[in-house]
Amino acid sequence: MVKPSVTSRAVKERALFEGFQKVGIVRAGPLADEAARLKEWLDHGYHAEMSWMARDVEKRLDPLELFPQARSIVVVALNYYTPDRHQENPATGKVSRYAWGDDYHDVLKTKLESLLSWIHEQEPQAAGKICVDIQPTLDKAWAVRAGLGWLGKHSNVITPEYGSWVFIGELLLSLDLEPDEERVEDHCGTCTLCIDACPTQAIVEPYVVDSNKCISFATIELRAATLPEPIQQGLSGWLYGCDICQDVCPWNRFEEATNEERFAPRAGNVNADLDEILELTPETYAERFRRSAMKRAKLSGLQRNARALKSAALDPSA
């Protein structure tokens, strides 16, 4: 085995230079510990209509199935918190914090491309593959293994420095880099605030979310013409996504404002005007949400959600 000329320390320093807040390195290999948990979650149908979660399971559990040259995985975390606050206004719908600014897929991908380009300059023979959420990788599992944080009871990764307001990405590399061995201890303790606060009881047990009951899943991924009745009753003003389990998490009191300008809230993306959403056409929708993560819900989904919120405002007892 030829030792690469670029070191783990240099890669980490460059990742921080690119704007990531945290970075860790792990050896590429099967996620044996996660296999049984993933199978159980899928067997319960907790992935709901997200059928892609049941596809390519081997690739999710083993990065070598996705990128055979992989020897190391560089795992990064990018803080996206901004200090803006939602308004409790029945004429508007609340938007999940992660979608306030530019699409995080684009932001992380650009930064990881820059990091990979720098690695190529140091090690021209290096091969790499960028993973940002849409590839079949278990992002949260790799973040925990890389020592970036621990898996909270709401199933989000919690970092000691930035809470859970972070995006996760990976760079699979053909280089044998020195891995990080130390992991972050689970600091959730006896706290159940996230479980207790969920209006639809989607956190069915600590660390396990049933997507069928989750407001985020229903308002973003669900393609049904109407929202399920339990979701409609528990919407709590959410148009796109839901942050309740993160908002109540004590570890998010350590939040710090991001220095990434592309995550600054766009106009109308913290609270969206419901009438404006309902008046959108395919053309104005495409323009309004260009390079925004909110495109994920599709125009039909956003307007469905807006109708549900307006109906709830007219009949609060519904």
The set of catalytic residues is 133
Angle between helices 104-122 and 8-17 (to 10 degrees): 140
CA dihedral over 171, 173, 177, 179, signed as positive or negative: positive
Element (H, E) at 39: helix 32-43
> CA-CA distance, 155 to 16, in Å (whole number)?
26
From the number of C-beta atoms within 10 Å of its C-beta (0-12, 13-18, 19+), residue 51 rates as exposed
Q: How far from 99 is each of 24, 61, 76, 82, 176, CA to CA, in Å?
A: 25, 28, 19, 11, 35
Helix (H, G, I), strand (E, B) or coil at 36: helix
SS3 78: strand
Is 181 exposed, middle or buried, given 0-12, 13-18 or 19+ CB atoms closer than 10 A?
A: exposed
| b/e sequence 264-289, b meaning 16+ C-beta within 10 Å | eebeebbbbebeebeebeeeebeebb
Residues 294 and 300: their CA atoms lie apart, in Å, by 12
DSSP label at residue 15: H
DSSP string, 261-300: GGGSPPTTSSEEEHHHHHH--HHHHHHHTTT-GGGGGHHH
